[in-house]
């Protein structure tokens, strides 16, 4: 599989875990998180010390996400 095919395969799934998204609104990871949402994706925030990120429930671990996700970034 080429790198482009792998990227396209990942992006074909609209819902994925976004691991390590920052609690700080100005952090680069939050900018990327918001951009994914603006482009129609459903990133699920994962941070062990946050309960909510950008108005979405935040999970302490990928294993806690319900319904489960197949991909993580």
How does pLDDT run across 5-30, given as a tens digit for each residue?
998 988 889 999 999 999 999 999 99
- Structural domain harbouring 8: 3-64
Rounded to whole angstroms, the Cα distance separating 51 from 59 reads 7
In a domain, 32, yes or no: yes
In this structure, what token pair is assigned to residue 5? Answer: 């095919």
Is residue 49 one of the residues assigned to a domain?
yes
pLDDT at 2: 83
**Alpha-carbon gap, residue 12 to 30, rounded angstroms:** 21
Task: State residue 11's pLDDT score.
Answer: 87
- Count of domains for the chain: 1
Q: 45 lies in a domain?
A: yes
Q: CATH number of the domain at 53, please.
A: 3.40.50.720
Q: Which two tokens stand for residue 6?
A: 């792998």
41 falls within a domain: yes
The answer to whether 44 and 67 are in contact (CB under 8 A) is: no
Q: Does any domain span residue 40?
A: yes
Over range 27-56, report the average pLDDT: 97
Q: Is 33 helix (H, G, I), strand (E, B) or coil?
A: helix
């Amino acid at each position: 599989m080429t790198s482009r095919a792998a990227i396209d395969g990942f992006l074909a799934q609209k819902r994925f875990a976004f691991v390590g998204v920052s609690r700080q609104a100005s952090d680069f990871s939050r900018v990327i998180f918001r951009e994914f949402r603006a482009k129609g994706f459903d990133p699920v925030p994962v941070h062990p010390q946050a309960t909510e990120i950008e108005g979405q429930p935040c999970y302490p671990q990928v294993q806690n996400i319900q319904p489960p996700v197949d991909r993580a970034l």
